[in-house]
Amino acid sequence: MIAEVRDLTFSYQEREVLSGISFTLDEGQVLGVVGPNGCGKTTLIKCLDRILAPEGSVEIRGKELAQYHSDELARTVAYVPQALSIGMAMNVLEVVLMGRRPHVRWSVSDADLVMVTGMLARLGIQHLAFRKLTQVSGGERQKVMIARALVQEPALLLLDEPTSALDVRHQLEVMSLIRSVVREQNIAALMAIHDLNLAARFCDALIVLHHGRVIAAGPPGTLLAPPLIEQVYGVRAVVGTEGGLPFILPVEPVGGDDR
């Protein structure tokens, strides 16, 4: 088991955002966190990366998150946020090399460079290696940050809306790559994701957040049924398969907006 979360609760001052969150995450598993805006997806990810300090228990590799030294945590957990906060004067190669910092003792090795250039190639951005981050598109920046996280070789990969800045083709490519790396390296990934079609296709399991609580969990194929989608999102939807692949087609909003 990679991670076990038990009764995680978090509040911003007097406002409770997450309450009683519990789940496990195994090797080789991609776990999607879905739910409407404001349900606590990003807050949950920040709790797992120790950016925020929740109540409850979070264990990674059988060790409480609070017990990790910062260097050890950096070798164990990698986080891809929605918004970039990295110095924009760096070029793409330098940014991705930052993912190797938890493993580098004195200087960057040839092996580090091979890993980084290989990951750039897998993501199709090797031609951007010496371009400044300010000179690439939003979607390309997103791929750069994903590459940085993957070369970190974490046990747990945390991604907050990893495809939000990507077009349809690159969404499929990136989600396929994440799933492949999780399988190859026998790690785990947890991602907050809005697109239910991508979640259904690429996640092994989902947890559904609603008003800061997990109201459903399980395999996408059985979980994403029209009644649940209507309850959580206030949308009537058609759910089916095409060529063996699942799809969710939103049809129309239903009821008020007080969910």
Which pLDDT tens digit goes with each residue over 110-158? 999 999 999 999 999 999 999 998 889 888 989 999 999 999 999 999 9
Residue 9 has pLDDT above 60, yes or no: yes
Q: Two tokens at 187?
A: 């790690």
Residue type, 93: L
Nearest alpha-carbon partner for 87 in 141, 46, 129, 49? 141
> How far, in whole angstroms, is CA 200 from its chain's centroid?
15
The angle that helices 168-185 and 138-151 make with each other, rounded to 10 degrees, is: 0
Nearest alpha-carbon partner for 220 in 210, 207, 211, 237? 207
Half-sphere exposure at residue 39, Cβ-oriented, CA atoms within 13 angstroms: 22
Q: Two tokens at 136?
A: 């690439």
Instruction: Name the average pLDDT for the chain.
Output: 93
Which pLDDT tens digit goes with each residue over 28-53? 999 999 999 999 999 999 999 999 99
Q: In this predicted structure, what is the pLDDT of residue 253? A: 96
Helix (H, G, I), strand (E, B) or coil at 78: strand
Residue 259 has pLDDT above 80, yes or no: no
Residue 85 has pLDDT above 70, yes or no: no
> Which range scores top for mean pLDDT: 18-22, 80-84, 220-224?
18-22
Mean pLDDT, residues 73-82: 94
Q: In this predicted structure, what is the pLDDT of residue 63? A: 97
Domains by residue range for the chain, with CATH: 3-85+147-218 (3.40.50.300), 225-259 (no CATH)
With cut-offs at 50, 70 and 90, classify the pLDDT of residue 84: low
DSSP assignments along 164-178, one per residue? TTS-HHHHHHHHHHH
Q: In this predicted structure, what is the pLDDT of residue 26? A: 97
